[in-house]
Structure 1
Amino acid sequence: MKIRRLKWLGVFMMMLLFVLIGRLVDIQLWNTESFSKHQVNLIEASVKQRSQVLTVDDGRGKFYDRDGEPLTHEEKQVLVLFPFLKKMEWPADEVASILGIREDQLRQEILNQKKPFAFGGNQPLELNEYQSKAINNLKIPGVFAVKQKFNSQTMLAGQLLGLTVQYSSLPKERYPDLELLPDTRVGDKGLQRTFDEFLLSSGESKLVFHVDANGGPMFGVDVKYVEPANPLYPVKVITTLDKELQETAEKIVDNYQIKKGGLILLDIEKSEILASVSRPVLDKMQPNGSGAINHMFTQHVPGSVFKTIIAAAAIDYESAPPQRMFDCNQTIDGKEEKQRPLGMLNFQNSFSQSCNRAFAEVSQEIAKKDANFFETYADKLAITQYSGWQGNLYHSAFKQLYGEQSGTIWKDQAELKKDPKMIAKTAIGQLNVQVTPLAVANMMATIARGGEKQMVKAVKKVEFNNGTSAIDFPKKEIDQNTISPYTAMKLQELLRSVVNEPKGTGASLKDLPYTVAGKSGTAQINITEGKLNKWFAGYFPYENPKYALVAVNLDTTENTRGMVAVFAEMVKAIYTMNHENSSKEG
């Protein structure tokens, strides 16, 4: 019996030994790069145990403004210190002397560090060329001057550029053919999302320093610089934004305490976005909160801005000759106008003073001839189409702008176009009319260009890391269905009258350094709560159009200032910048 137990014990020990040997083989030979259900790379983990690493660049592509200025990051020459310095003697006094700081400042910052870091905390000290060279010439183990990329503390054009998240938080079917590590950053919204496949990291650039069991340097002063194998990456996405204009636009929007809304500025000739601000602010800690919506690309009730569409139809149908007068003491349904009685006005003054009655009458008359004229002229001025650049890239459909919506006139209630009352409400940009600020800005640009409809770009090109171009985005027309040059000219005159006429809704813009043409709009969106959308859309200079601008305050009240003031501030800021830049060049 005793012998049998010993045999079974021996068999058990042999089996246990085989299991342990098998496990060792599994770890050492078979699953070294994907150990356990967590897919741990044991080789990398082993290297990490005996290495101290500082990431200089995460390898993901970066965004730049039209002049090459970084938008989402900063590049600084910094002092990198490794934590093992606190365990060894090193000439801290010499380094401090080069930096112009006290030696104890240098030593103190190292004491609580466990990983390599850039000296200076959240705002690393930026070194000049002399300091960098002098420090590296000392050849001190664990002390290096390097150029490092940092994420910007402030988010410019947050909703337009978007955010990144770790790949592990997304459904894996997005990139089924790519082997991405769980901590790889991928685009979540904005241009980060639409250009994600170009921006994906092909490997980090980092400093690797090997240490012994005590955390000290193993190989003297040698540090290994590791960078992606492909020198073409990371790519640079050159946007159409002007960093200085973007910063100014954000300040203006915040100074006027716009809680929901913002502004968008276009370069008319190039059909490019120069600045785009949406509020609420995009919060990195709550990426799916209210700040995630780009209100410049989403539908909103436009109010009287939509009268520009009716004016285009009225010009073509000759429904508003100069001698025709409209009773602007009446509402759209013929009742007494108590809030804004304007008297008898011709069509131009009806446009400049925003008389609802005139546009209700004209629309009802045109609708008897063409029930679809709203859609026709909205299409001619691209106000209900997608404005953002789209086309084929590598034989696949591609859109630059994330989350852009098209506009709508009737929604799913086409039967309403037969009702004169509904026609009147639609004519003044109410009822079911919904458009995006981007589309309104593009409408103004189209009119300023004499009727030429173009797609709007947010990105000019994608460059490889060596400066060669990977993709260029050319100018593209939306389509050929547009207003005639004559209609565009008459619309230009009407838009100018809004500012030029003494009683025009934009008369306060008359004395700006640039001549302005435009249209105001106030839309009722909740009568019970007194909620309004306030707009001003236009272009400037009138004689030689360069900029189209839309400012909008959404879900606001009667007590808040109109958008004419915001529009004026932006115009003055642009003039000042252009004047200063001209002086510098001169």
Structure 2
Amino acid sequence: MEKRIVFLRIVLALMIFILAGRLFYIQVVKYNFYSEKAMEQRIKSFKISEKRGDIYDRNMIPFTDRDYKEYVFAIPKMINDKKRAAEILSEITEISSEKIREDLKRNKDYIRYEIRRDVDFSLPVGIFKLELPQRYSSNSLARHVIGYLGDKKMGLEESFDEVLTTDASDSIAVFTDGSRNDYIKGLGVKIQTVHDKVFGVKTTLDYHIQKVVEDVLDRRRIEGAAVVLEVKTGNILAMASRPNFDQNRIEDYLKSSNEEFINKAVSGYPPGSIFKIIVAAAALESGKVSLEDTFYCSGSYDINGVVFHDFKGESHGLINIVKGFAVSCNTTFIRIGEITGAKAILDMARKFGIEKDDGLPIPEQIGRLPKLSDTYGAGIGNLSIGQGEVLMTPLQAADIVATIANDGIRNVPRLVEAVVDEKGEEVKRFPPRESYRVLESNTAKILRYMMRQVVVDPEGTGKRAETFCKSAGKTGSAEVNKELNIYHAWFVGFVPYENPKYSIAVFVKNGDTGGIKAAPIFKEIAEEIIKY
């Protein structure tokens, strides 16, 4: 009997010891943990921002969330003197106190205003300041590439929406009483962050080169586009279109013609004389025209009653393909087109990528070529000078030049390198498409020489494109309205001449001739970016 009593006493003592140990663990060791858990049951949260993955340049410089903006938040249920609060908020936000008082009376969970004027006095309970990242700012770059968010999306924001969307967010947390209806004012507010994996998109764009291009277009106040490609890789280093748009005010453009949203860098336009690059390539590659062949330019050329004229009807006399290219002689190139044949020209255009979908993650037009049946008679005249049914995008124009500068090998243009994590480590890589040869090396060499003559020949149409690092290219003036003398102006070229690094296409909608309007823009861009 005594043994049983002793045993029960031991068991009871053991139970008391375990219970005491558990109480000590809960009340002392895990005090903070359970206190927070209890407090969480009395916390009410309001989501104020959602984290989204960033879009970066090739060096991990972000295009998005670059700037922060300071806001003032007000929680109506925590404010006793709403009249005084409205006066304070009015001073900070420059919004009328009457409007703010109405907002406070609506009994929202919280209201938020952008801070317009900073103040040095303390804010009452229920009002506080907070900085939040801005997806887009007033100086955001590459807007036609990055796109925008909203009811509808555009650009990379749309193409990579699933990648960029996360569950990470920031919330305002306020403490409530047991009913969770009244806020405990003395405990204030805190910011809660919900963490989640965040992935970004690393593009091929170069932030600094993109800025140079956009600054030049803005200074020139033109409507058009410019593209910069890296010759050795085909990577798109810059892509800009004008007019531009404000990514934070999309609704302002919905009642307009939507011209601001058109990415002219990947939209098709008549190329005019820059198409002579393709005609010359087909003629030389086929062997049907040599550098020794000469052509007589009288200033006009008749095909079945349709008369084609040189610019201002000027006669260039007896010239070869090099001189004809330098002075952009229409009659010479129509004759070269007839000798070469439309099929060879169209085949060459397709080898260069016209009418091909290169799979960019943004909408792009593929260009347009006439049917072979439409090139008979006067049709060969239009084809040979880039008029009629021919359409080309500025990106395609830069791509053609890059292929020639790269010794005849085409690197398919690329815009996105990889999906990356927050540390910049690549999670998924998008390798370049397979390169292929378009031209024999010698043909490409001749074309580079011809493009150099456009810039250095005393009569060359591209003299205004010459740079301190030596440039080469081709002008284009695509006729839009003959009666009103309206042209789309083009200049496409590469720099430096000896060791090509960049291919640049400049397009000015409804501008002037390419030599007058586009060539100086090319020069300005080239001389700025050559340092990168």
**TM-score tier (shorter):** 0.7 to 0.9
2:326 corresponds to 1:352: yes
Match of 2:363 in 1: 403
Match of 2:137 in 1: 152
Cα–Cα, structure 1 residues 332 and 382, in superposed 2: closer, same or farther, change >3 Å? farther
2:233 corresponds to 1:270: yes
Equivalent residues of 2:285, 2:439 under 8 A apart? no
Q: CA RMSD in A?
A: 3.6
Match of 1:476 in 2: 433
> Mean Cα displacement is larger for which, 242-251 or 371-380?
242-251
Match of 1:208 in 2: 173
SS in 1 for 2:266: coil
Measured in 2, the distance between the counterparts of 1:53 and 1:239 equals 34
Match of 1:445 in 2: 402
Among candidates 345, 350, 365, match of residue 374 of structure 1: 345
2:505 corresponds to 1:550: yes
Match of 1:464 in 2: 421
Match of 1:176 in 2: none
TM alignment of 1:496-507, pairs within 5 A: 496-507=452-463
Measured in 2, the distance between the counterparts of 1:71 and 1:162 equals 11
Among candidates 495, 519, 525, match of residue 564 of structure 1: 519
Match of 2:26 in 1: none
- Give how far 1:240 is off: 2.1
Q: Deviations over 1:502-540 (max 9, x none)?
A: 211112333x22211110001112323433111000111
SS in 2 for 1:566: helix
Equivalent residues of 2:454, 2:472 under 8 A apart? yes
Match of 1:435 in 2: 392
Match of 1:525 in 2: 480
Match of 1:538 in 2: 493
Measured in 2, the distance between the counterparts of 1:559 and 1:518 equals 11
Match of 1:255 in 2: 219
- Give how far 1:197 is off: 2.0
Measured in 1, the distance between the counterparts of 2:321 and 2:215 equals 38
- % same residue: 26
- Give how far 1:219 is off: 6.9
Measured in 1, the distance between the counterparts of 2:474 and 2:118 equals 47
> Mean Cα displacement is larger for which, 207-216 or 445-454?
207-216
Cα–Cα, structure 1 residues 520 and 214, in superposed 2: closer, same or farther, change >3 Å? same
Cα–Cα, structure 1 residues 494 and 211, in superposed 2: closer, same or farther, change >3 Å? farther
Cα–Cα, structure 1 residues 294 and 495, in superposed 2: closer, same or farther, change >3 Å? same
Q: Deviations over 1:118-176 (max 9, x none)?
A: 8733x999xxxxxxxxx9xxxx986576664453134422222212223xxxxxxxxxx
- Give how far 1:562 is off: 1.7
Cα–Cα, structure 1 residues 188 and 332, in superposed 2: closer, same or farther, change >3 Å? farther
Amino acid at match of 1:289: N
2:260 corresponds to 1:281: no
TM alignment of 1:114-513, pairs within 5 A: 115=110, 117=112, 120-121=115-116, 143=128, 148-166=133-151, 188-210=153-175, 217-218=184-185, 220-221=187-188, 223-228=190-195, 231-233=196-198, 235-259=199-223, 261-282=224-245, 284-285=250-251, 286=253, 289-333=258-302, 339-367=313-341, 371-387=342-358, 390=359, 399-400=360-361, 402-410=362-370, 413-417=371-375, 419-477=376-434, 480=436, 482-510=438-466, 512-513=467-468
SS in 1 for 2:158: helix
Equivalent residues of 2:57, 2:203 under 8 A apart? yes
Measured in 1, the distance between the counterparts of 2:88 and 2:185 equals 27
Q: Deviations over 1:489-509 (max 9, x none)?
A: 111111111112121111233
- Give how far 1:364 is off: 0.7
Among candidates 53, 69, 88, match of residue 61 of structure 1: 53
Give the total of aligned pairs: 461
Equivalent residues of 2:45, 2:171 under 8 A apart? no
Scaled by the length of structure 2, the TM-score of the pair is 0.77
Q: Deviations over 1:427-464 (max 9, x none)?
A: 11011111111011011111111122122122221112
Measured in 2, the distance between the counterparts of 1:481 and 1:559 equals 29
Equivalent residues of 1:141, 1:220 under 8 A apart? no
> Mean Cα displacement is larger for which, 529-538 or 274-283?
274-283
TM alignment of 1:102-117, pairs within 5 A: 108-109=91-92, 112=100, 115=110, 117=112
SS in 2 for 1:333: strand
Equivalent residues of 2:476, 2:513 under 8 A apart? no
Equivalent residues of 1:460, 1:473 under 8 A apart? yes
Amino acid at match of 2:142: A
SS in 1 for 2:205: coil
- Give how far 1:222 is off: 5.6
Equivalent residues of 2:408, 2:437 under 8 A apart? no
> Mean Cα displacement is larger for which, 373-382 or 199-208?
199-208
Equivalent residues of 1:374, 1:409 under 8 A apart? no
Equivalent residues of 1:462, 1:469 under 8 A apart? yes
- Give how far 1:332 is off: 3.4
Cα–Cα, structure 1 residues 211 and 108, in superposed 2: closer, same or farther, change >3 Å? farther
- Give how far 1:308 is off: 0.5
Measured in 2, the distance between the counterparts of 1:257 and 1:340 equals 31
SS in 2 for 1:151: coil
Equivalent residues of 1:207, 1:226 under 8 A apart? no
Equivalent residues of 1:54, 1:117 under 8 A apart? no
Amino acid at match of 1:416: D
Measured in 2, the distance between the counterparts of 1:79 and 1:533 equals 46
Measured in 2, the distance between the counterparts of 1:386 and 1:573 equals 31
- Give how far 1:313 is off: 1.4
TM alignment of 1:60-79, pairs within 5 A: 60-76=52-68
Cα–Cα, structure 1 residues 298 and 546, in superposed 2: closer, same or farther, change >3 Å? same
Amino acid at match of 2:434: E
- Give how far 1:302 is off: 0.2
Unaligned runs of 5+ in 2: 1-39, 82-86, 105-109
- Give how far 1:58 is off: 1.8
SS in 2 for 1:165: coil
Measured in 1, the distance between the counterparts of 2:300 and 2:511 equals 23
Equivalent residues of 1:60, 1:199 under 8 A apart? yes
Unaligned runs of 5+ in 1: 1-46, 89-103, 126-134, 167-186, 391-398, 579-586
Match of 1:394 in 2: none
Equivalent residues of 1:352, 1:494 under 8 A apart? yes
